[in-house]
Structure 1
Amino acid sequence: MYGASVPVLRHGLQNLRAILAKAVAFSDSKKVASEVIAGSRLAIDMVPLSKQVQIACDTAKGCGARLSGVENPSFADDEKTLQELLQRVDKTLAFLEQLSPEQFAGSEDKAIQLNFPSITLNFNGQDYLQQFVLPNFYFHVSTAYGILRHIGVDIGKKDYLGAIGGV
């Protein structure tokens, strides 16, 4: 469970961090306020880049916490700039790096309950990871990528995928 979650989430967050860093360079070169980019959306009824990053980070740290049995750190959702979003990703990566494979032993059968305002979801650990965490994480990372690509940040599939296959 550790191998199917933490390294995968760390890789995705490292790639998200890299595309956010490119967004900072874009912001500087185009003289577009960082807050404007952080508030950008693909569609009017979608949440902005800042929320996409916050949700991706929350999904990753929540997974690590729930499956390992440690307390889920609480991060205020107050990031308004690209630099603050980079710090959010860094805090999430630092949390995940503290977790060990041993903490995940037996977590595939662990009962996981998620309470949302309109629904409660119940999973075992494996279904939580496969049916909720990974699809939700990749949705928000992909949407963050899409927002940045849409506004003109020079990123491509290689940036989204990051280092793969030993390269």
Structure 2
Amino acid sequence: MAAPALYQASVPVFLHYLEQARGLVSACRGRPELLEGKLAPDMFSAAQQFATAAGFSLRGTFPLIGEPVPEFPSAAMDREGILTRIDFAHERLVTMDPAAFEGAEARRIRHLAGFADLDQRGADYLNLFAIPNFMFHLSIGFAVLRQGGMDIGKADFDGLHDYPPGFRF
């Protein structure tokens, strides 16, 4: 039997992109200033963007199965701390039972979006809130690293594209 739709639309997606985030953060070895960078003074640093993305992978799945979101271990906002958070999220996601997602589309999820108090059906929660927020923070983290001079491109972000060396658009 196939896994429920919201399992398929969440856990494999989050796992794939957490692995991409792991590669990006790992590549910052010896360049801590990259993770400290920001796109604008009032935005999160790249480190906080990646940490928040990791958080959204769990925040986006556990409510769908009616479980509390696991609390992340305390870790510094440096390369090793971000990798610890990514690994923690990965470990929790790979142990999720696809069957627990049965009926998740209709499950009501009350949560905060900034200062907004929302009540959404599971499908809307995942598709309109959790995945877009995960991708937002992952994308901003990527953009900060790129702006900081890291030689990365679309293939590093999604792990799917292939371009000749030096190709950028």
| Pairwise TM-score range, normalised by the shorter structure | 0.7 to 0.9
The 3-state SS of whatever aligns with 2:110 is strand
- Is residue 2:16 matched to residue 1:11? yes
Cα-to-partner distance string for 1:31-52 (whole Å, 9 max, x where unaligned):
x4x2x33221011121111211
User: Equivalents in 2 of 1:37, 1:82: separation in Å?
Assistant: 10
Instruction: Name the % identity.
Output: 31
Aligned partner of 1:48 among 26, 45, 48: 45
CA distance in 1, matches of 2:7, 2:20: 19
Q: Distance in 2 between matches of 1:142 and 1:122?
A: 26
**8 Å contact from structure 2 (residues 35, 145) kept in 1:** no
> What is the DSSP-based 3-state SS (H/G/I as helix, E as strand, rest coil) of the residue aligned with 1:71?
coil
Tell me the equivalent position of 1:103: 100
Q: Structure 1: how far apart are the matches of 2:147 and 2:74?
A: 24
For residue 28 of structure 2, give the secondary structure of its aligned residue in structure 1.
helix
- In the TM superposition, what is the alpha-carbon distance from 1:133 to its structure 2 partner? 0.8
Q: Deviations over 1:81-121 (max 9, x none)?
A: 11211111011100111102101000000000113562201
Matched, 1:68 2:65: yes
TM-score by length of 2: 0.86
Instruction: Provide the residue aligned with 1:58 in structure 2.
Output: 55
Does residue 93 of structure 2 align to residue 88 of structure 1? Answer: no
Q: Which amino acid aligns with 1:3?
A: Q
Residue identity opposite 1:113 in structure 2: R
**Unpaired runs of 5+ in structure 2?**
1-5, 162-169
More helix by share: 1
The one-letter amino acid of 1:12's match is: Y
- The CA RMSD over aligned residues, in Å, is 1.6
Gaps of 5+ in 1: none
| TM-score, normalising length: structure 1 | 0.87
2:39 is the counterpart of 1:22: no
Give the match for residue 7 of structure 2. 2
Are the equivalent residues in 2 in contact too, given 1:54–1:77 (CA < 8 A)? no
Q: Is the 8 A contact 1:37 1:82 kept in 2?
A: no
